[in-house]
Structure 1
Amino acid sequence: MTQLPPIPLSKLPNFDPRKVPVSAVDTHLPPVAPSQLLAAALQQRFQSPPTWQPEVRAEPLFTERAPLHAAVLIPIIQHSLEQGGPTVLLTQRTARMSTHAGQIAFPGGKADEGDADASATALREAWEEVGLAPAYIQVIGQLPVYVTGTAFIVTPVVALVQPGFTLVHQPTEVADAFEVPLAFLMDPANHRRHAFDWEGGHREWFSMPYMDAQGERFIWGATAGMLRNFYRFLSA
């Protein structure tokens, strides 16, 4: 396959998160067991949640605009173990987006007045961004809200997705869509810690770079933070 051209991952001048040194990797933490990543186990976890705390709740704000409510869909595609097991569908945002341009993201966006709840927002955005039809999606729960540095109050909506769908990208918003094994994302040996000081303050974040046929998919920032919270939820 032809590799995607590199897209800037931040609008901050002279800042590339891929070049910020890794301060630590959490190899001391156990991965979530493969049996706990299957549909029945995920449904049971949300039906009877453990006592736990999200590790990442909010990023330092670097905007003065009023907060906006948003939702994202964490779409877990139910591939069989023979096919490699469940995966998470992610998107790469286009370079022209006003916020989080070029970054790896879940399908999602800000809430509209007509949305009944966060799940409705997430499902609508998934349909508008990548053409993922609600008929393939079963919402099983939500994770705690995550506040981004751009002042979005994001509700992550977790859903099981049956294979067989056809994606249609919204070209002004989505440069690409791809899948990452859920087992890779739920293994802290793949969770890298970073810290960066700049004139606006100090920031720390996770990254979870994943290599596929098109090169490195640099998952970081809010997406990685929500995945880290998902790990904490499943491993509690």
Structure 2
Amino acid sequence: MTDAKAALLSAIDRDGGASSDFDLNPDVVLPEGRKLRPAGVLIPVQMIDGQAQVILTKRSSHLKHHPGQIAFPGGKQDEADADVIAAALREADEEIGLKPTNVEVLGTLASHETVTSFLVTPVLGFVRDAFVHEPEPGEVEEVFSVPLTHLIDPNNFRVEGRRWRGQRRHYYTVPYGPYYIWGATARMLRGLAERMSS
């Protein structure tokens, strides 16, 4: 077992509370009884040249929702999916060509509530063998990887803000080179970083 894989397994066993897009915005009042749709995203970790890398996507700039943003492969749970893990694996296959048989699911992290009313479960997966990225043309503009060491270092995260629907909204960012990783993706990575550094 690689050191990175062992560290990820240990992180899963540590306590980590649920997160949301509202964590840094305590003034937001969420309606009681709101309905959240289940979704799953895959955090695929692959050994590349002896270094653990996290595979991420840049969403197509033509998409209606979150165009051009950095995201994990994943999406909402469909009726045919057994659970959110199955949804994450199916979406990773569809979006980047990563076959479910090539992923060892290590476990899940605490769920994350988004402003778009999804309850997202991050699924930690270890990619067994090298594979050719096959970005789905309608959804994915680019597939790239970031060293795990960069994403689990709390010092690489910043809190930034912008106006959204007439109010100042704060969120986490964890930039890497030309890639501006922010929002829900950065918040889930921050949760992983907190577990791995505790």
TM tier, smaller = 0.7 to 0.9
Q: Percent of counterpart pairs with the same letter? A: 42
Q: 1:198 to 1:166 in 2, by over 3 A?
A: closer
Deviation, structure 1 residue 196: 2.8
**Residue 50 of structure 1 corresponds to which residue in structure 2?**
14
Structure 2: which 5+ residue stretches go unaligned? none
Does structure 1 residue 75 correspond to structure 2 residue 44? yes
Does structure 1 residue 120 correspond to structure 2 residue 86? yes
Q: Is the 8 A contact 1:53 1:232 kept in 2?
A: no
**Residue 107 of structure 1 corresponds to which residue in structure 2?**
73
Aligned residue among 225, 229, 235 for 2:187: 225
Does structure 1 residue 95 correspond to structure 2 residue 56? no
Q: Is the 8 A contact 1:99 1:150 kept in 2?
A: no
Aligned residue among 100, 103, 107 for 1:134: 100
Q: 1:196 to 1:108 in 2, by over 3 A?
A: same
Q: Is the 8 A contact 1:37 1:182 kept in 2?
A: no
Structure 1: which 5+ residue stretches go unaligned? 1-35
Q: 1:128 to 1:39 in 2, by over 3 A?
A: same
**Residue 151 of structure 2 corresponds to which residue in structure 1?**
185
Q: Is the 8 A contact 2:17 2:110 kept in 1?
A: no
**Residue 125 of structure 2 corresponds to which residue in structure 1?**
159
d(CA) in 2 for partners of 1:51 and 1:183? 20
Q: 1:189 to 1:129 in 2, by over 3 A?
A: same
**Residue 210 of structure 1 corresponds to which residue in structure 2?**
176
Q: 1:197 to 1:112 in 2, by over 3 A?
A: same
Per-residue displacement from partner, 1:49-97 (whole Å, max 9, x unpaired)? 223435x433378xx9963221100001123xxx251000000000122
Per-residue displacement from partner, 1:150-174 (whole Å, max 9, x unpaired)? 2221111111112321121110000
Q: 1:66 to 1:50 in 2, by over 3 A?
A: closer
Number of corresponding residues: 189
Q: Is the 8 A contact 1:39 1:78 kept in 2?
A: no
Letter aligned with residue 58 of structure 1: D
Q: Is the 8 A contact 2:102 2:129 kept in 1?
A: yes
Larger radius of gyration: 1
2:132 partner SS: coil
Letter aligned with residue 37 of structure 2: L
